[in-house]
Structure 1
C-alpha cells in the first residue's frame, strides 16, 4: 500500500502534468507521451549479451591460449623501433637493382639490333618466309599451311599466365592496314631475326622477364616469346606499336606543340571530318611530358578552348579529352588567314617557353589545312630562322594538290615534314611521320635514353585480355630504348629503326617490399616524375559495370588524389623533386569497400629510385606500426610445426624468390621454404630474416591446432553449433584455419579463399579482420557482417576477431589476430535471448524488445546494423533507418561524422550544355550544313572515302562513347565512428507532434552498441542520414573564371632529364617534299643568307 508521501508526490506530479498539457493545448501543440526506456535494463541486456558472445568468441578462437603462448616467449624476443628512413633507402636500392636488370636486358637488345642492321644491305627483291603472328599454324582448305603461316610450336607456360607461347622464338605482328610482304617490312623482319638469340639469352639470365619486343619504325612488331594473335570480331588487328606510349616516349623528346586547324569555308564536309581526326590522332601521340594548344582559324583566330588563350596546357588525359569535346563543335566558314595563325603560334611558343613551365625542349607547329596561298617566308624569317628550332609539320587535307608546293616548302624550310591526307584511312600512318622527324636529334646524338612509362594495363593480346578478366588485369610499366641506324651514310639523316622494350609488372616491385616490416597498416608506394601513382594500395584502376573495365584516367591518378589529407602537397612535391626525407600527418584510411574509416597518424619516408623517373615512399602508422620484434626458435622446431596441414602463407609475399629458376616456378612459398630449410634447393634465394620469424610464429601458434581439434571433438550437438570457422593470422603472413563443420556446410564458402581479397594477406595489405582488430582495445573483439546482408542475403555470417599483443603497452607490436565466423542467425538468437532478461525479482519486465512500442537494434562502431527486428535492415546504415536518433547521437558526440573524398570515383555522365559562343561552335548550324553537304557531295564521299575503315574506326568509337554511362569524377561522402569514451547515453528528440526517446549502451569488450528506440514516435520530419556519395562540381558552366582556373592549374612536376630537341648537323632534306625541294631551294637559302649577312 502506498504511503501518504507517495500520494502527495503523485498529486504534485499529476498537477504538473496537467499544467503542461494545458500549456501545450493553449499553444495548439499535441504531444504524445514518450515511452520510458530504463537505462538500467538496457545495460543489463548489453552486459548479458556481451558476456555471452565474448565467451563464445574467446573460447572458439583460442585467443587466450595464443596470448598466453606469446607471453611465454616474451623474454626471448627483441623489440626494435623501425628506422623508416633507412628502410625506404634499402627498399629503393632493391628496386634500383631490379630495374637495372630490366634495362640491361633492353640495352643488349639495342646493341644486337643496331649491329644486325649495320651488316644488312637493303634488298628490294628479298623473299623471306617469317612467322606472322596472325597466320602461324593456319591452313588452307587443302590442309596446307598458309603463306607466312608455317607451323609454330606453342605450349602453355605458367610464367606467361598459361598462354600458349614459344619460348625459343619470337614472331612478328603486322598491322592489318599494312602489306605483310612490303619490301621495307620483309627486310626489317629479316635483319631483326638476330634478336631471337638475345631474347632467349635475356630470359635465361633473368627468368622473371616477361614480354620482350622490338617495335619497328616501319610498323611491324617482333614479340618474344612468340604467340598467336587473334583478330577482333571485325577481323582486324588495330594494334600499331608506333602508337604505344613506350614507343613514342623512347623515340622522341618532350615537346611543346601548337596545332593550327583551318576552318575556312573550303574545309567543309569530309575535309573537316578528316581534319578533326588528324587533330585527334596527333593528341593521341602526346604524353604527360608534352604541352599543347589548338587554334582554329579563318579570318579570325578561335581558340578551341577560349579560356586558354595565349598559353599551353599539359597533355594529360583530362586536358586532351576536354579539347576533343570542343573539337567536335568546329564548323567551317569564312576565309583562311594563315599568316595571323602562324604569328600567334610562334608568339605562344616563345612566351610559354620563357615561363619555364613547358617541356623546355622540342617545339612544333602542326598545320592542318586544304591549302596555303603563300609560303609565309617573312614570318619564318622573323621567328624561326636561321636556327629553325620550331619545326613545322603540314598536313594537306583532301585529294587536290593545287597548294601542295607551298605547304611542302613550309615544312622543308623549317625542319618539319609534309604529308597529304585524302581519306580517314590515311590519317594514322601520316600523323606518325612527325615522330620520326622529332627523333632525328636523338639519333644523331646517339643517346640511347632509357625511358620508363607510367603504370598501365596492356590489352595488346585479345586472348590475354580475356584471361585477365578472370584473374584481374595486370598493371605494368615498360622500360624502352630507341634503336638507331649506325650506317655512316645515314648518320646526318637521323634514322630511327624502332624501339625495344620489356614489360615489368608492378607486382614485381611489390615482391621487393618486406610487408612484414611495414606493420599492419603500413605500405609502400611509388610515383612518377609527374606525380602519378606507379603503385599504391589505394589505386583502383578498374570499375565494375556489368564486368570489370578500366577507368579512363587510371594511369594518371595523382598522389594527391589518394593521400588527399596533404592539402599543400608537401609529400607529393618532395617526392616529385626526388628528395629524401620524412613527413607526418593524420590520415583517414578507409577499409571494407570504403565504408569504414580508421583515423591514425602516419609517418612517411621517401627517396628517389636512381636510374628511373620514380620516387619511393613508405608509410608507417604511429604506435604499434612503428615496432618490430624478432623471435628465436630452432629450425628443427619450426620445420616440424610448418608441416601441419592447416598452415598456409601469404601467396603474394616473397619469402623465397621462385622466379629465378624455371624449376622453382611451380613451388608455393610454403613448399619453397621447406626445401630451403632442408637444404634440398641450394639455388633458392630466400629472406632469411622473414623465414626466421615465420618459424617463430609457427612454433608459438602450433598448440592452437590441438586446442581447436579438442573443441571440435567435445562439441555437443546443440552447444554453440552456430560457430563454423576459427582462424588465425600472424604478422609474418602465416595463417591457420579450423572448420567446426564440414566444408560443404559452411555458410560463407568464399571466406579466406584466394578470391576473398579483403580477408587474406596480399601484397598490399593485411586481412580486414586483422586490421580492424588491431585498432580495438586489446582483449576486445570486433564484430562485422557483410553490408546489406538483409536485402542481398548472400553470406549470413558474423565475423569476430581480436588482436594479440606481445606487451601490455601501446608500443607493443600486434603479433597476431585470431577470430571466428558464426552464423548470423545464431548470433542474433543470442542477442534476443539476452534482451528478454529482467532485473526485477518477480520476473516481470518493465520493458522488452518484444514490445510494439520499442525497436531494438545492435549496431557496430561505424553505425551498421547487425541485429534488427526487421531482418531486411541487417547490414544497412543505422542513419538510414533511424535518421532522427542518429542525428541526435551525432549532436551529443556519441558518434562523429568524418568527411571522406574519392578522387577516383565514377559518376553517371551528364549531358553537357552547348557553349553557343560563336558560329564555329554552333551545333545547329553544323547539323544543317552537314545535311546540305551529304546531299551535294555524297557521290564524292563514296569515291574518296575508305568507307569500311571509317565505319569500324570512327563510328564504332563514337557508338562506344555513347554507350559509356559512367565517367571519372570526384565525390564526397561521410563515414561515422563512435566515440570510445562514451559508453552509454540516453536522450529525447523533440519531433513535430511527439517526443522520441532512446537509449544507447555499449556492449562490453566489443565494438558493438545496443540501441533501444521509442517506436511510437515516428519523427518522420527528420530525414534519414545517408552515406551516398555526392559528386563535387568544380566547374560551373556559368562561372567561366572558375572553369578557367581549374583548366590552367598545374601541379609541380619534374621534367625528364634528357632533351634532344635540336642538332646542328641534322639533314632536313627528307621532309616529305623531296621532289619540290630543289625548285624552292633558292627561296630557302636566300632569306637565310640575307639574315646572316645582315648581322
Structure 2
C-alpha cells in the first residue's frame, strides 16, 4: 500500500501540468510496439531498448525504461496521445523507485482514460515467437470500469444498419462487469424483451453471452414506436430490487437507432421528470434521417449524443460515455480515490500460459486548474500494480494442509480466487476469470450458507459432510470437511481454510529426526540412507523412486522430467545441507525422512516385476486422483486405466491408506498400492466364471467404469464407462439406486466455435460470422477457440445397501441381473443374462465423459439469483459538475482501420436498442452537447 501511495502522490504533481501540455503538439520518443523479432526498418523518432529474458516475468524485459501500449484503433499521432506520452514519461522514475523499494513488484501500470497504458518494466507487447498471427485488440479501458446495462432494440431497422447495431450492442455489453445489471428489449409496433429475462440481470459473462445470442436473432419488421420502447425501459429500471445494491445508484437508458421523428416527450415527463435517469442516444449508420429528435432526447435527459457511421467507430463511441459518467466521481475527489481489486485476469503480456492476476486500482482525476471547464472534469486514469496469484500461493504452507486441504478467497460477488478448482482454459485474456464458489464445488445448503456469511464479512467455522469430486473429475466421494473463514482486513475479500479431519495435524520434522531414524534402521551413514536410495543407478537395488516436483529450495527449480529433477535434487543436496536458508527446511527434511523409511520396502518388492519404468501417474501426489481418493476412503480403491480407443495398454491399480494412531491424535501418513496386469487377471476371472455365452459377469468400480469381464471382447473396453457398453443394464442399476448420478458443469472450458448448418431452401442461410479480431487475424480459421460450458456426469454409491437384483423388461424378452458390492473395496460384481440374448433391449448410450452443453437454464437462474453485495460507494450526482457547452475531447479511429472495417460491414450484425445502465457515476449536460465523430 505504501508503494501505491507513492505512485499516486507523484502522479498528481504531473497531472496539473497536463492541461497546458494538451495544447501542444510535442513529438516525443516512443517505445516501439513492434514484435520482439520484427525486422521492419527502425524509425528515427522511436526508442528501441535492449531486452533481456527475465526469470521473474518469463519474457523479454528492459528495466531501463517504461513502455506504452496504444489501442489499435486509436491514432498514435493525435495531439492528445502525444501530450499524454509527454507528461506520463515522468512516471518512469516513480516506477523505478518503487521497484527498488520492493523488488517483488511485478507490472506497474498507468491506464489513461484515452486508452493509453504506460507500464514498467518495458517489454514488447507481443512476441511473435510465441503468438504468431495474433491481432492486438487490447484496450486498458475495458478493464477499469464495471457497469450495468439494459438494452432495447428497434425492430424497424434493417440491412447494414441493423447489422451495425448488433455489433454495437455487443461492444456495449463488453463494457459491463459483474457489478452491473442489464437487460435488452427491442421495439417496433410494440416493445418486447429480447431474451427471457423479466428484469435486469447481473452482467456476468454467462448472462451477457445469452443476451448477445438473443440480440443476434432480432430481425427487422414494423415501424419504430419510441414511446413503447422507452416505457418498457423505464419499467425495467423501476423494477430493480433493493437487494441488488449498487443497481439503485445510477439509472441509464441507451438508444441505438438510425433516427426518427418522434420525441416521446410525454413518456419522459411521466417517468423522468426529475431527470434521475440519463438517456444516451446513438445514431447508427450512414443515412439522411433527421437526427434532431434523438439529440433532444439525450440532452433533455442529462445524457449525450454520439454517431456511429461505420464499424471503425463502434469501439471508441460505445465507451465514450464513460467520460461523461465519471464527472461526479471527479468532483467527489478523495472520497472516490479508493483502492479496488478486480476479478482475476490473465496477464495480457504473458500469453504462453495463464497467470491469474488481481489489479489494485486507484483512480486519478484531472481537476487541478480551470475546474469550471467540462474537459477538466474527467477521470485522468488509473494507477495499478499486478499481484500474482502464484506469489500469494507461495506465501501459504500448502504442504502442511495435506493433499485434500486447501484455502480459497471469495469476493462480494461470490467469485473465488486461489481455489484449486479455478483453472480457466479460456485463451481470451480480455475476459475476466469468474467462477462462483458454488460452481467450484458441489453445492449443498450448508455451502450456500457459508458463501453468504463470507460475503457478509463474518467469521465462522462449519463442519460439513459433503460430496467431493475427484481430481480427474470421474468420481465422487462423500467425505467430511471443516470450513474456517474470516474477512481479510482492508479488502472486501473473505478467506477460508478447508481441511479434512485427518489433516488437522501434520508431522513437523527436523534434521535430528532424520539422524534418529537413520540409527533406528541401523544404516552406516545418513548419506547412505537417503542419497543412495534416491540414486538412479540404484533403482534396481532400492526400487524406482520419484519425488514430487516441488520448490524445495528457491534456487532449485522443479522440472517436468522426473529423472532430471531427481538428479538435480541429489546434486543439490550433495553441495548444500537441507538447513540451507534458501530451502524449505521442513519440506526437505520430510522428504529425506520418507526416503529413508521407504527404502526398506525394497525387501518386500525385490522379487516382483518393476513398474517404475512405465509409471504414468503424476509424481505430485497433491495432484493425483488415486492418492487423494484413497485418503477419503477406508477401503481398497481399484482404478482401471482410463479408456482410450487407440491403445491396448490396460492395467488396474489398487490402493489403500495407512493410518497412524498416536495417543488421541490420528492422521494418514501414506498410500500404498499395486499395479495389476490386466491380461493375467482377466484370464483368471474368465476361468473362474466359466466362460458362458448366455451370462455376462462384470466388475465395475464406484464410478461405473468396467474393471473386469468374462468375455474376451470386453478386454479392449476395460476402463470404459459401462453405460456405453450396456446402457439398459446401467440405467437399471441407477434406477435400483446402486448408483446415484450427479451432473456438474464446467464454466471454464474452451470449445471450437459453432458452425451453424445451412437452413432450408426457403429460409435464410446461416453461417459462422467472424469477429473483427477474426478478420484482422490471418490465422483465425486455424486458431479460433471460444469459452464455453461443458457438462459431465459422475456416478457414485450413495447408500450402504450391499445387494441388488431385478429384471430388465424389453419388447420380446427380459434379462435378470444380480449385483453385489465387494467387501472393503469400491467394486461391485454384476451377473446378468447376456446382452446378446435380448437385443430388443437396445437403449441410447449413456454419456459420462465431458461434452459441450448449454448449461443450466439462465432464465431459471435469473429468477433466483445468488446472494451478492454491491459496492458501497455511489457517485451518481454532484452539484459541482458543470454542464458542457462545447464538444468533448475525443479520439477518432485510425483512418486505415475504419476504411478496412467498412469494407467488411456485410459480415456483421447490428441493432437498434435502448440501453439502461446503472453506474456509480453520473452526468450533467446541456442541449448543445452534440458529438459528430466521422470515422471514415
TM over 0.5: yes
Match of 1:897?
740
Tell me, yes or no, if structure 1 residue 490 matches structure 2 residue 379: no
Match of 2:716?
872
Match of 1:364?
252
Matched residue SS, 1:319 = helix
> Judging changes above 3 Å, is the alpha-carbon distance between structure 1 residues 770 and 237 closer, same or farther for their aligned structure 2 residues?
closer
Equivalent position to 2:116, from 199, 220, 230: 220
Any idea what the Cα deviations from partners look like across 1:334-362, whole Å, max 9, x if unmatched?
55443554454445434437675652222
Q: Answer whether contact 2:650 2:718 (CA < 8 A) is retained.
A: no
Match of 2:438?
560
Q: Answer whether contact 2:134 2:777 (CA < 8 A) is retained.
A: no
Tell me, yes or no, if structure 1 residue 829 matches structure 2 residue 680: yes
Q: Answer whether contact 1:632 1:693 (CA < 8 A) is retained.
A: no
> Judging changes above 3 Å, is the alpha-carbon distance between structure 1 residues 859 and 389 closer, same or farther for their aligned structure 2 residues?
closer
Equivalent position to 1:164, from 34, 39, 60: 60
Tell me, yes or no, if structure 1 residue 111 matches structure 2 residue 9: yes
Aligned counterparts, 1:687-702, within 5 A:
691-692=585-586, 695-696=589-590, 698-699=592-593, 701-702=595-596
Matched residue SS, 1:611 = coil
In 1: Cα distance, 2:743 partner to 2:117 partner: 46
> Judging changes above 3 Å, is the alpha-carbon distance between structure 1 residues 1035 and 924 closer, same or farther for their aligned structure 2 residues?
farther
Matched residue SS, 2:49 = coil
Q: Answer whether contact 2:345 2:431 (CA < 8 A) is retained.
A: no
> Judging changes above 3 Å, is the alpha-carbon distance between structure 1 residues 1035 and 1013 closer, same or farther for their aligned structure 2 residues?
closer
Gaps of 5+ in 1: 1-102, 543-547, 660-665, 726-745, 754-759, 837-846, 915-921, 931-948, 1037-1041, 1085-1095
Tell me, yes or no, if structure 1 residue 433 matches structure 2 residue 320: yes
Match of 1:175?
71
Any idea what the Cα deviations from partners look like across 1:286-312, whole Å, max 9, x if unmatched?
11111123333445433333x545x32
Match of 1:20?
none
Tell me, yes or no, if structure 1 residue 774 matches structure 2 residue 618: no
In 2: Cα distance, 1:489 partner to 1:817 partner: 72
Any idea what the Cα deviations from partners look like across 1:755-809, whole Å, max 9, x if unmatched?
xxxxx14xxx4532322322443xx7534332115x3327544434332321189
In 1: Cα distance, 2:124 partner to 2:238 partner: 49
TM-score, normalization by structure 1:
0.67
Match of 2:337?
448
> Judging changes above 3 Å, is the alpha-carbon distance between structure 1 residues 417 and 851 closer, same or farther for their aligned structure 2 residues?
closer
Q: Answer whether contact 1:384 1:390 (CA < 8 A) is retained.
A: yes
Aligned counterparts, 1:599-748, within 5 A:
599-621=478-500, 623-630=501-508, 634=512, 637=515, 645=534, 650-651=548-549, 681=581, 691-692=585-586, 695-696=589-590, 698-699=592-593, 701-705=595-599, 707-708=601-602, 715=606, 719-721=607-609, 723-725=610-612, 746-748=613-615
Q: Answer whether contact 1:274 1:397 (CA < 8 A) is retained.
A: yes
In 2: Cα distance, 1:952 partner to 1:185 partner: 24
In 1: Cα distance, 2:781 partner to 2:928 partner: 48
Equivalent position to 1:805, from 659, 665, 680: 659
Aligned counterparts, 1:72-111, within 5 A:
104-111=2-9
Equivalent position to 1:476, from 329, 333, 357: 357
> Judging changes above 3 Å, is the alpha-carbon distance between structure 1 residues 552 and 910 closer, same or farther for their aligned structure 2 residues?
farther
Aligned counterparts, 1:229-628, within 5 A:
229-230=125-126, 236-243=135-142, 245=143, 247-249=144-146, 254-255=147-148, 257-264=149-156, 267-298=157-188, 300-305=190-195, 307-308=196-197, 311-352=199-240, 359-371=247-259, 373=261, 384=272, 388-399=275-286, 403-404=290-291, 407-446=294-333, 447-458=336-347, 460-461=348-349, 464-465=350-351, 467-468=352-353, 473-490=354-371, 493=374, 494-542=377-425, 555-567=433-445, 569-591=448-470, 593-621=472-500, 623-628=501-506
Matched residue SS, 1:432 = coil
> Judging changes above 3 Å, is the alpha-carbon distance between structure 1 residues 157 and 198 closer, same or farther for their aligned structure 2 residues?
same
Equivalent position to 2:640, from 785, 802, 805: 785
Q: Answer whether contact 2:793 2:849 (CA < 8 A) is retained.
A: yes
Q: Answer whether contact 1:853 1:1015 (CA < 8 A) is retained.
A: yes
Matched residue SS, 1:185 = helix
> Judging changes above 3 Å, is the alpha-carbon distance between structure 1 residues 972 and 860 closer, same or farther for their aligned structure 2 residues?
closer
In 1: Cα distance, 2:806 partner to 2:889 partner: 89
Match of 1:1063?
878
Q: Answer whether contact 1:137 1:149 (CA < 8 A) is retained.
A: no
> Judging changes above 3 Å, is the alpha-carbon distance between structure 1 residues 993 and 312 closer, same or farther for their aligned structure 2 residues?
closer
Any idea what the Cα deviations from partners look like across 1:226-257, whole Å, max 9, x if unmatched?
222348877853222222x3x224xxxx55x4
Tell me, yes or no, if structure 1 residue 201 matches structure 2 residue 97: yes
In 1: Cα distance, 2:727 partner to 2:239 partner: 58
Larger RCO (CA within 8 A; separation ≥ 6): 2
Q: Answer whether contact 1:587 1:601 (CA < 8 A) is retained.
A: yes
RMSD of aligned Cα (Å): 4.9
> Judging changes above 3 Å, is the alpha-carbon distance between structure 1 residues 694 and 125 closer, same or farther for their aligned structure 2 residues?
closer
Match of 1:88?
none
Any idea what the Cα deviations from partners look like across 1:657-682, whole Å, max 9, x if unmatched?
999xxxxxx9999999999977764x
> Judging changes above 3 Å, is the alpha-carbon distance between structure 1 residues 158 and 797 closer, same or farther for their aligned structure 2 residues?
farther
Gaps of 5+ in 2: 517-525, 536-544, 558-564, 891-924, 930-936
Aligned counterparts, 1:41-52, within 5 A:
none
1:910 Cα shift? 9.3
Equivalenced residue count is 849
Q: Answer whether contact 1:215 1:241 (CA < 8 A) is retained.
A: yes
Comparing 488-497 with 960-969, greater Cα deviation is found at 960-969
1:1066 Cα shift? 0.7
Q: Answer whether contact 2:133 2:778 (CA < 8 A) is retained.
A: no
Matched residue SS, 2:10 = helix
> Judging changes above 3 Å, is the alpha-carbon distance between structure 1 residues 505 and 1018 closer, same or farther for their aligned structure 2 residues?
farther
Any idea what the Cα deviations from partners look like across 1:119-138, whole Å, max 9, x if unmatched?
44315231212213227885
Q: Answer whether contact 1:215 1:221 (CA < 8 A) is retained.
A: yes
Q: Answer whether contact 1:540 1:554 (CA < 8 A) is retained.
A: no
1:258 Cα shift? 4.0
Matched residue SS, 1:488 = coil
Match of 1:934?
none
Aligned counterparts, 1:906-925, within 5 A:
none
In 2: Cα distance, 1:886 partner to 1:479 partner: 52
Q: Answer whether contact 2:283 2:306 (CA < 8 A) is retained.
A: yes
1:154 Cα shift? 0.9
1:442 Cα shift? 1.5
The structure in which a higher percent of residues are helix is 1
In 1: Cα distance, 2:762 partner to 2:733 partner: 58
Q: Answer whether contact 2:343 2:432 (CA < 8 A) is retained.
A: no
Equivalent position to 1:1050, from 855, 861, 865: 865
